[in-house]
Amino acid sequence: MRGATNDDVLMFSGVSAIGSVTSVLYGLAAIILTLTVFGSVSLIYNAFAISVSERTRQFGLLSSVGATAKQLRATVLYEALAVSAVGIPAGLLLGISGIGITFFFIGEKISSLTGLDIPMRLVLSPGALSLSLLLSLLTVLISAFIPSLRASRVSAVEAIRQNTDIKSKKTRTSKITYALFGLPGVLASKHFKRNRKKYRTTVLSLFMSVMLFVSSASFTSYLTVSVEKSFEGVGYDLLYSEFKEGAGGFSAEKLLGSIKSITGVTKATYLQRHYLGCTIDNSILTDEYLQSGTGFLYVEGLEESKSHQYVIVFFLEDAAYKQLLRDNSLDEKKFMNADRPLAIAFDRTTAFNVETERLEDTDMLKSDSCTVSSEYIKSFDDYYFDSEFTDENGQRMCRFVSYKYDYEGEGNTDLILPREEAYVKCDLTVGATLKKRPYFNEVDNNLSLVYPISLASLVLPEEQATATLTFPICTNNHRETDNELSRFLTENGLASGDLFNLAENVEQNRNIVTVIKVFSYGFIVLISLIAAANVFNTISTGIHLRRREFAMLKSVGMSKKGFYRMMNYECLLYGSKALLLGLPASAGVTWIIYKVISDGMDIDFVLPIKAMAIATLSVFAVVFITMLYAMGKIAKDNPIDALKNENL
């Protein structure tokens, strides 16, 4: 068809008519690519930087016998190419294996997102592999280029003497360092102050590790929240509806107990749900909600200062209602007072704003205390409401049609009443508002009011004659629970056709969340491994290349205990400096991630405190473990042999 578009194909191709969606997708892609490249470059750069720094004397000797700066640079770059020849193919194989294993375990969930019965299979794209190879090679060459420049610019005399590595200037240490760590701590402090290049390299490595881990954790957290918010709906898995008290010999409480005993059920309750047309004074509604126009109904003759909409009134099982009060620190006596019933209002709506192209949260009510006027149609036995019309006298009338209507035209049993007689008016008073909806209250664009079911006959007396109950049910295995509950209902003479498996309908949305979490946490693991390898390589190599220094200290009488005190001080120094720089930087990256996602929806900025705490503990743990490992490797060194070795 001319002018038709395939929206599904465009969506999977990353094309959207909504500009904010496109900007969020490209923004997130830029962030994840930057984090990955930054982590890779930092790891490779540190490896070459340490290698070049510790081979300064070797480069000086080569320079003294005629090696040019170009030849020295070529030496480092050749080493980079040699490493790439082994590392890049190995990395590609591991990457292909990893995605193959991922498809094996969650391929069904990914294929379900397309709505087509097509299994996921691993397909190797020559273009993608070539691009990965090229980017990896480019990353290695860039990482090695800066150290190669440094190696070529040092003069032969300075390189042999190593004047540029260690600054022989007078240094001071604090009395606190001496008091806590003694002479070993003082020696370690002086070493760092005179050898700032190696010190900065190690701290920079730890700093990047902290920033990468916290940033990737924030990315995963925000991405998961945004996806869950986009597909937010009902909070329960199964719904049993249209239950009348006493049906099948069951009371509501007895049936609820039976439902809770079924395999897989984690929580359940029962409630009545009523949709009431309510007139609300605009003065109690927020400006944002009024401007959105969400959920408002046109009513002829309504004053401009008022709005009309459907309000959902829940009458919740008393035990669940009391738990809701406790969870939100609300007074039970106040909200379960039969003399003045008060409602809890869920007044936050989430809807897509066409003008701003964002998924926005909007509060409906300005305050916790207000009253909405409601009018609802009376219930008449054997009749249902059909329509409202104006008669020949200009009076508003309501027509009710009998369920027993004779369709052959005989005995027309319509019930015609003036509007005043057909409607019941009442006031619904709100005593508190909540923003987070409980599992039984699905996301809706209407105001929701919750009362205890024991007060239902006082709040809406006319509605109780025909009221039925619904049972929202949460389960950890919706299919098994659905089958078992269906058998139970059938065996006890209850209608199993009124049992609905809502989890089945939202399975695709849940699969999206699962797939996002798998890839997101896989990204965290990848970044964490890069960071750990970076730290381990930097610290262990640095300690290994200080074997002559340790041999000298051992030769003048430093004990094993003294060595460990010195290492403990170094660990604290490395960790504290890295955290002092890394945590603020990671908070900044978290803010950037938040700003990118907030372009598409309303979300709250949350500092990743848990990730920061894990990073803090991990930094010191990795540093201490690496120190112990490296010290264990050189513990058996002979001081004389180590002092003679010029290649360290």
Name which of 92-101, 163-172, 219-228, 355-364 the model is least confident about.
Answer: 163-172
Report which residue type is found at 104: F
Residue 648 is predicted with a pLDDT of: 44
d(CA 519, CA 503): 23
Count the Cβ atoms, other than its own, within 10 Å of residue 559: 11
Residues 344 and 451 in one domain: yes
Last residue of a domain, one of 445, 479, 505: 505
Of 195, 84, 188, 178, which is closest to residue 139 (Cα–Cα)? 84
- Residue 565 falls within a domain, yes or no? yes
* 380, pLDDT greater than 70: yes
The arithmetic mean of pLDDT across residues 589-615, rounded, is 83
Q: For the chain, what percent of residues have pLDDT higher than 90?
A: 7
Name which of 15-29, 204-218, 340-354, 612-626 the model is least confident about.
Answer: 15-29
- CB neighbour burial string for 188-222, b if at least 16 within 10 angstroms, e if fewer: bbebbeebeebbebbbbbbbbbbbbbbbbbbbbbb
Residue 359 is predicted with a pLDDT of: 67
Coil, strand or helix at 383: strand
* 553, pLDDT greater than 90: no
Residues 227 and 318 in one domain: no
Label the pairing between strands 238-243 and 265-268.
Answer: unpaired
d(CA 219, CA 527): 12
Residue 452 is predicted with a pLDDT of: 93
The arithmetic mean of pLDDT across residues 213-218, rounded, is 82
- Residue 641 falls within a domain, yes or no? yes
Residues 480 and 587 in one domain: no
d(CA 418, CA 440): 37
- CB neighbour burial string for 104-142, b if at least 16 within 10 angstroms, e if fewer: eebeebbbbeeeeeeebeeeeeeeeeeebeeebeebbee
Coil, strand or helix at 280: strand
Last residue of a domain, one of 451, 470, 505: 505
Residue 84 is predicted with a pLDDT of: 83
Residues 349 and 476 in one domain: yes
CB 432 within 8 A of CB 346: no
d(CA 448, CA 314): 7
Entry pTM: 0.60
Residue 259 is predicted with a pLDDT of: 92
Q: How many structural domains are present in the chain? A: 2
Which tokens sit at 366? 């300005």
- Residue 117 falls within a domain, yes or no? no
Residues 492 and 548 in one domain: no
- Residue 303 falls within a domain, yes or no? yes
Name which of 35-39, 91-95, 491-495, 505-509 the model is least confident about.
Answer: 505-509
- Residue 111 falls within a domain, yes or no? no
pLDDT band at 378 (very low <50, low <70, confident <90, very high): confident
Of 264, 265, 268, which is closest to residue 243 (Cα–Cα)? 268
Residues 491 and 614 in one domain: no
151 or 216, greater pLDDT: 216
Residues 468 and 599 in one domain: no
pLDDT band at 451 (very low <50, low <70, confident <90, very high): very high
Residues 302 and 447 in one domain: yes
- Residue 261 falls within a domain, yes or no? yes
Residues 182 and 251 in one domain: no
Last residue of a domain, one of 457, 479, 505: 505
Residue 38 is predicted with a pLDDT of: 72
What residues make up the domain containing 201? 177-231+506-648
- Residue 463 falls within a domain, yes or no? yes
For 443, phi then psi, to 5°, come to -65, 130
Distances in Å between the Cα of 524 and the Cα atoms of 213, 217, 305 are 7, 6, 53
Residues 260 and 358 in one domain: yes
pLDDT band at 77 (very low <50, low <70, confident <90, very high): confident
* 109, pLDDT greater than 70: no
Name which of 94-103, 141-150, 387-396, 446-455 the model is least confident about.
Answer: 141-150
CB 512 within 8 A of CB 113: yes
E-only strand ranges, 260-331: 265-268, 271-281, 306-316
Residues 331 and 343 in one domain: yes
241 or 195, greater pLDDT: 241
- Residue 438 falls within a domain, yes or no? yes
Residue 647 is predicted with a pLDDT of: 47
Name which of 83-87, 245-249, 444-448, 558-562 the model is least confident about.
Answer: 558-562
Residues 213 and 262 in one domain: no
